[in-house]
Structure 1
Amino acid sequence: MLRHLICLGLLGLSPVVHADDADAGRAWQAGDHHVHSEWSVDWDRTTTPPTPIRGGDSPYTRSHNARQALRHGLAWMVHTDHGGPGHSRVTQEHAWPALEQARRDVPSLIQFNGMEFDVPGAEHASLVIAPGKHERDELVEIEHRFSRNEPVDGIARDDGQTMIDALARMRTLPAPPLMFVNHPSRTATGVGAWGEVEPTELRAWHDTAPRVLVGMEGAPGHQATRTERGLYRNAAAPTFGGFDQMTTQIGGVWDTLLAEGRRFWITASSDSHENLRDGGRDYDPGEYSKTYVWARRDARDILDGLRHGRMFAVTGDVIDALELTVSATGRDSRTATLGDTLTIPAGTTMRIELRVRQPARPNHHGEHPSLAQLELIVGTSGEDGTPRMQSRRWTTGTWRTDGPWRIVTWDLPVPARGAFVRARGSNTLETTPIADVPGEDPWRDLWFYSNPVFVDTGDQASETH
């Protein structure tokens, strides 16, 4: 269903009111859904059951992480400590009180309860619990019943059906949680040679709970690791411009999912364990990677924006606001933006407009990165089910400038089977992101990716998932 939204984000300024009441008061809210604390414990396995060792995989308190997130310009953050044998008890007795303390210590930061869920039959995902009086107990129950590494009695839980059962349970909750697959290609053995996360699994999970399993990290964390950017350790399957290959390849996994009509979104996160300045391999929440959500400064509306794709992912603060709209030309004034669907007949000319804003302040490396290129990407479903892609690039001097805004437009006919439209850009001139190599400086290789706008022709051939 089309919502008449025109995205005019002004980060840090007064909220903009729009014609659609549902959009009133929204602005760009930067955040991070993947942050570890001292309750990502290590384990003494000489005891039965294993004994948790506080601070084993991160030295920081949750209050410390919240302060760092606020310092680096975030409005919201999800606490996502990983599990282990019997970790649900750690969640209940230690991590939850630590979250309550962090909320008292840093009240101006919206903080979600969550965890890095050990996905049965796969790897990891950020689990974000909807705020409310049951948020502690819901997380404890999900972790205790379904997390891959939770059992302390040797019973195997590393199977795909357990993940399906977990999602089936989550979708029945009165306020369903959210889940984003973390670092999806980290265990790949090559480009298109998948490891512990396969496209068929993404489809199965999304089919089971499309309002819960809503996307994946487009840009994984651990970006400060110079030897293996993102901790993608296999040189044959690296990140590309800091983003996962499932996202960066035009016509690849992400585009295939979108061409199938799936509302499947991407994010960027820090996966922060220990900061580079303290001898670690990570950046703080918001220091390098941000996910901007178009929402009111309210936990429920931010969750709604994450669920419905009103967001873009960016590294190095190369931009801090984005407007991507698709509109019908002529007398038809209908417009759709991120996460929305515009219904117009096939063959009708659609106008795509991208506006991005360069920040006034330096990034957290003390620099003002300049955009070198913008790209609009349009996909549609082919007869054989594979996406048919077209794109158009602009470089400095070929776009319009309006103060800090860079603006491009593209008019083209609506494909017979409908379409999706997304955007990306960079401070590099790489026509497509190239493979990251050891020693690369991540601050020289910055990208943003928008989530898509969908175009539906109203025909059965272009019905969406």
Structure 2
Amino acid sequence: MSHDHSHRRPHSHSHSHSHSHSHGHDHSHGGDVDEATRVAADTSVSDSDLTPGQLSRRRMLKAAGVTGALTAGMSGMLGVTPAMAEDARRGRDGEGGGRGRGGGVRHWLAGDHHIHTQYSSDAMYTVLDQAQHGAAFGLDWMVITDHGGATHARIGVDLVNPDIRAARAALRDTLIFQGLEWNIPAAEHGTVFVAPGRHEVSVLKQFENDYDGRVKGASGNTPENEALAVAGIQWLGKQKDRRRVADALFLANHPARNGIDSPHEVRAWRDADPRIAVGWEGAPGHQAGGLPEGYGPGSARGGYGNSPSDNSFPGYPPESYRSWGGFDFYTATVGGLWDSLLAEGRPWSISANSDSHINWGGTARRPDGSGSAQFDRDGRYGDPVYAGEVNLSASDFWPGMYSRTHVGTADRGYTAVMRGIRDGRVWVDHGRLLKSLDVRVVASGRGWGKVHGHGRGEETLGGTLTARRGSRIELVVTVTAQDVPNWGAFLPRLNRVDLIRGAVDVSHAGSDRDKLTAPDTRVVRQTDTSGRTGTYTLRYDLGTLEEPFYVRLRGTDGNRQQPGYHGAAVDPAGPAIDVVGDADPWRDLWFYTNPIWVLPSR
């Protein structure tokens, strides 16, 4: 993991970057619907006259049944969420899994999309080491994401594939994806991964050679490099469209760590292809970094120990360079950057991962003679050997030992996991705070709510429930308390659940690409769950539906909290800012969910 961004120049405040011209996704400033959606919905315009981005939008709108005349409720959103469009398509085509209770979710599969091996210059474990540990710690899926760069692009992406295929054969109940950690041009790092198949190596290799910031010498903060990142995301979408790979996804990693992922870049990534660019790490890896000296490294939890530099986006406050309860500032701040995206109707998912390089409590080391020269020559380090001592200075946990990303799927397959991530069917936790979680928004009463004509009056995480104005809306949350000790060897207890609600206002979308806040989003209810065991249900009356809104949840063990960054009126008891050198992750556990949107149909 490289922290060197000294070559970068300050981010410009200009909003007229080259990415804003990407295939029809630039937004109009005067209406309720962005221009790409407006053109795509106009049935008088033929398919042949649309840009690729507009054509993709039209297909999604057709799938959701809203071309021609957009309803008032739908015009409150910038577009149709992938989950909505896919569910509608499946319903018409007679496929199972799209229309059932909970949006086709039959399984919640725990995973980790950010794991390094001996094919990364700053890591050391074999693929099988990481996969076996991840499976032992309860993961159902994981992604191998060795660092992009000259050596990896030249030979590493090829060499790791046989190890991944061997691990798939050895651990048949575990889904093991091949990916890479992308050096995003003009920005931070990100996970890119594809569905297994005949072209998984060739697609990843071509992507890395053509679009990696380090390989292309495109790390500098220029509009041209920002445009290269957008082009890379669009290229991945084309590989999916051409069926070279069954699927591809991109998620930004540790976005607030150095302050160099500016808000307009994040929006540009998502707008480049919302099927590919789907989210970021809500909580970074390196969580053991905060363990105090004596039994830990005594450094920064998550590796978030930095400060603003000339390379950072100037709108970010100093507090954003720290983790808050182990979570990234952009996610942990109620009414912050994440909520600003959600309030614009832009689906954007969160995850929680290990970023495992060298693990706390491990007993391995690289073999003698396995150094940088050998890595540059061979594309990998030698297999690790027994060190004869316990490493208490490392900052990482094994995959699944502390952080988990739970994905709702229709089955236990590779593309099902990818679809679940894309659709936002995701909740995350630290330290196994919960055993399971089910969240549903339900419409009842007058015109009890129909989702795109299918008569379903409920929706789960990542989804959008459309109901008639005047419908009564309720949030139903089913919690199963943890009943077995976690890998810190204690039984975690959920102390409180927070309900967060925000208004959806499309007028925010086009006017300020660097918008950081969602002023109408706040914690609206806190529920004491201390002492509750087994499975229990929390019910929240969300009132009568009149205007578009979204809800999301957060929960804690209650050990550390403080008023949120925007004040107690917005967030009375949110996660506390982590202290460098003294932030024991096991004493500060949280869970977060993705949102559910609710839209009036008329």
Q: Same fold (TM over 0.5)?
A: yes
Aligned pair in 2 of structure 1 residues 419, 79: CA closer, same or farther (>3 Å)?
same
Match of 1:20 among 100, 116, 122: 100
**Pairwise CA distance, 1:320:** 2.7
* 2:491 counterpart of 1:361: no
Residue of structure 2 in register with 1:190 after alignment: none
Report matched runs for 1:49-68 at 5 Å: 57-68=122-133
* 2:499 counterpart of 1:376: yes
Residue of structure 2 in register with 1:233 after alignment: 305
Question: Which segment drifts farther, 229-238 or 175-184?
Answer: 229-238
SS in 2 for 1:276: coil
Instruction: Provide the rounded CA distance (Å) in 2 between the counterparts of 1:416 and 1:200.
Output: 31
Amino acid in structure 2 at the alignment position of 1:320: K
Residue of structure 2 in register with 1:192 after alignment: none
**Pairwise CA distance, 1:381:** 2.9
Aligned pair in 2 of structure 1 residues 258, 356: CA closer, same or farther (>3 Å)?
same
Residue of structure 1 in register with 2:427 after alignment: 312
Instruction: Provide the rounded CA distance (Å) in 2 between the counterparts of 1:73 and 1:376.
Output: 28
Aligned pair in 2 of structure 1 residues 349, 4: CA closer, same or farther (>3 Å)?
farther
8 Å contact kept, 2:462–2:595 = yes
8 Å contact kept, 2:103–2:460 = no
SS in 2 for 1:224: helix
* 2:408 counterpart of 1:294: yes
TM (norm. structure 1) is 0.85
Match of 1:339 among 459, 462, 477: 462
- Work out the number of aligned pairs and report it: 420
Residue of structure 2 in register with 1:50 after alignment: none
Question: Which segment drifts farther, 424-433 or 382-391?
Answer: 382-391
Gaps of 5+ in 2: 1-63, 65-83, 88-96, 291-298, 308-317, 363-390, 449-455, 509-517, 562-572
Larger radius of gyration: 2
Residue of structure 2 in register with 1:267 after alignment: 351
* 2:577 counterpart of 1:435: yes
Residue of structure 2 in register with 1:40 after alignment: 120
SS in 2 for 1:74: coil
Match of 2:595 among 452, 456, 460: 452
**Pairwise CA distance, 1:22:** 9.6
**Pairwise CA distance, 1:108:** 2.2
Instruction: Provide the rounded CA distance (Å) in 1 between the counterparts of 2:414 and 2:288.
Output: 29
Residue of structure 1 in register with 2:182 after alignment: 117
Q: For 1:418-465, what per-residue CA distance to the aligned partner results, in whole angstroms no more than 9, with x for missing partners?
A: 011110101016311110012121101000001111111125xxxxxx
Aligned pair in 2 of structure 1 residues 4, 176: CA closer, same or farther (>3 Å)?
closer
Instruction: Provide the rounded CA distance (Å) in 2 between the counterparts of 1:330 and 1:212.
Output: 37
Match of 2:263 among 192, 196, 199: 199
Instruction: Provide the rounded CA distance (Å) in 2 between the counterparts of 1:156 and 1:355.
Output: 47
8 Å contact kept, 1:347–1:413 = no
Residue of structure 1 in register with 2:255 after alignment: 184
Residue of structure 2 in register with 1:54 after alignment: none
SS in 2 for 1:304: helix
8 Å contact kept, 1:346–1:418 = no
Gaps of 5+ in 1: 6-16, 42-56, 188-194, 460-465
Q: For 1:286-335, what per-residue CA distance to the aligned partner results, in whole angstroms no more than 9, with x for missing partners?
A: 00000011122111111110111111011000013111111112362711
**Pairwise CA distance, 1:33:** 0.2
Residue of structure 2 in register with 1:166 after alignment: 232
TM (norm. structure 2) is 0.66
Residue of structure 2 in register with 1:329 after alignment: 444
**Pairwise CA distance, 1:348:** 3.3
Aligned pair in 2 of structure 1 residues 395, 80: CA closer, same or farther (>3 Å)?
same
Match of 2:149 among 73, 84, 107: 84
More helix by share: 2
Instruction: Provide the rounded CA distance (Å) in 2 between the counterparts of 1:179 and 1:25.
Output: 22
* 2:550 counterpart of 1:407: no
Instruction: Provide the rounded CA distance (Å) in 2 between the counterparts of 1:141 and 1:246.
Output: 31
8 Å contact kept, 1:217–1:269 = yes
Aligned pair in 2 of structure 1 residues 76, 272: CA closer, same or farther (>3 Å)?
same
More strand by share: 1
**Pairwise CA distance, 1:101:** 2.2
Instruction: Provide the rounded CA distance (Å) in 1 between the counterparts of 2:355 and 2:157.
Output: 22
